[in-house]
Structure formats: C-alpha cells, structure tokens
Amino acid sequence: MNQEQMDFVKNGKGFIAALDQSGGSTPKALALYGVSEDQYSSEEEMYDLIHEMRTRVMTAPSFNSDSIIGAILFEQTMDRKVEGHYTPDYLWQKKGVAPFLKVDKGLADEENGVQLMKPMPNLDDLLKRANERNIFGTKMRSVIKEANAEGIKKVVEQQFEVGKQILAAGLVPILEPEVDINSTDKEQSEKILKEEMLKHLDSLDEDQNVMIKITIPTENNYFKELIEHPRVVRVVALSGGYKRDDANEKLAANNGLIASFSRALSEGVSANQTDEEFNATLENSIKSIYEASIT
C-alpha cells in the first residue's frame, strides 16, 4: 500500500471520479457522450471509443488533485495507456490522483430484494495485476432494491468477505452496497444497511481499513457513524441516477460525505465539442461536484 496515497485519499479535499463503465454500461455512456451504437461495429471498437472519452476527461486541465483525490478505472483502462503511461501511473504521476480499480463482474439476479455480486473466481489474479499496475484500491458494487433484512445482510456479508480478500492483497477496498434511489422503502433499507455495516466494521482489526460507497441517504447525515468510524478511510456517494444539480444539492446536505460520480460527472460533455468547449463543460462539472463535496 502506498502510504502517500493513503494520506491523500484520507485527508485530501475533493471527490472520486468514477470512470469505470464496464461492458454492460459502456454503450449507454457512449450514447450520452454523443456516440451511437451504429458508430462502432465490434466490442473492440466500442472499448477504443470509451477509452478515447476517458482519456479526454483525464487529460483535461481541470482534472487534477486540486479537486479530485481518486479515479475508479475499468479493468481494460488499467491496462491501457494515456500519453504513453499506463493509466494508473498517469493518474498518480502526472495528475496526483490515486487510482482505483473496479473488480466486480456484475450483478447476480435479484433475490430477497437485492442483487449480490456475481462470483469472482479469478479475483486473486486480478489483484496481483492491480498491484503490478500500481493501483491503490478497488471498488465492487451490489444493489439493494427492497428493505429485506435477509437480503441486505447477505449483501453486507459478501462485501466484507471480498473486502478482506482485497485487504490481504495490500489494496484498499471500496465497499459499495448501493440502495436503489427508486426503492419505495429506501429509508428503511438504509436503516437495516447501516446496522449491518456498523456490525461488520466493529469486527475489523485495527489494520483493516476500508472505504464505503453509498447512496446519498434520505435523511441528511444519516451515515454520520460510518463516516466517523475508525476503520473507515472515507465514505463516498454515488449519484445513483440523480441529475448532477440534484445530486450535488443532496450531497452538500451531508457533512463529510464526498462524491464518487460517474454520469453526473460527464453530464453535458460531448464527442462533438471542441477541446475548448469540452474542457469548459468538464471544468464546470468538476467545480460544482467539488464544492458539494467540501461543504
């Protein structure tokens, strides 16, 4: 583990950029960027185009450690280069931004009101490669759709079980038990989730420190105990489908919670913009998310 990165992620001012769209979400991300599916004819071309988009974001002048403390990457992005450097090295050496890696393989079918993560049989090999590529931490996502105590318990158990495997590899896991913003019993789900999260956090050893990525709570500052827990490096929030202005407003009402936005970060940027237009749009986005994160 890179101690300089740990200190920066724990104490730095700013937010984490989520640039980890995977195979299933890449077509939608490209469409929002102005690249339709008829503009590529293979998965390889699709990934080339999304890397061009991510490169444009990461090389923008405003994308730096003044506002951004970390960036979450897709596995392919980790192995690709930006301006002649492997992406994780470019982020840290050129931008001062700590690199994270999405490690989950997607969601299983819904059961007991939740979607667990699919099995990750090759996780140890991926973590080894992540270390070789100088990755600081990882991220993995589950989804909670209903306030089902049994389902939420299984989500948290799985997140911590895999999180300990990641810690053993010397990386810092971001545990992401997302609560669907459209859930009719979202607030009750958050209550069950917080109780389960605190129970597992209390059982960690002093050298087992994790991060948490979570949906912005219905009740402001509801996750205060998670943010202040001694085993938690940082708690970050996903935009969850909210438009950027809405997400920023909700985020700003929660002290100590910082953003880890994907769609909200790239909202408004387009493949058809000039570099000047693109950079100005992204700068405004980064500025607004940064301000909401440090409020």
Q: Which of 176, 178, 190, 196 is catalytic?
A: 176
Cα separation, 209 vs 7, in Å, equals 13
CB-based burial label for 256 (10 Å; 0-12, 13-18, 19+) = middle
Beta bridge partners of 175: 140, 212
Q: Which of 95, 145, 186, 213 is catalytic?
A: 213
User: Is 176 considered catalytic here?
Assistant: yes
Cα separation, 220 vs 252, in Å, equals 9
Provide the Cα torsion 58, 61, 66, 70; round to 10°: 0
The H or E element that residue 70 is part of is strand 68-73
Q: Do the strands 137-144 and 172-179 form a parallel or antiparallel pair, or are they unpaired?
A: parallel
Cα separation, 224 vs 226, in Å, equals 5
Closest residue by Cα to residue 158 from 194, 118, 131, 186 = 118
User: Is 94 considered catalytic here?
Assistant: no
In which residue are the tokens 């992005």 written? 77
In which residue are the tokens 């960036």 written? 71
Beta bridge partners of 184: none
- Kindly list the catalytic residues: 176, 213
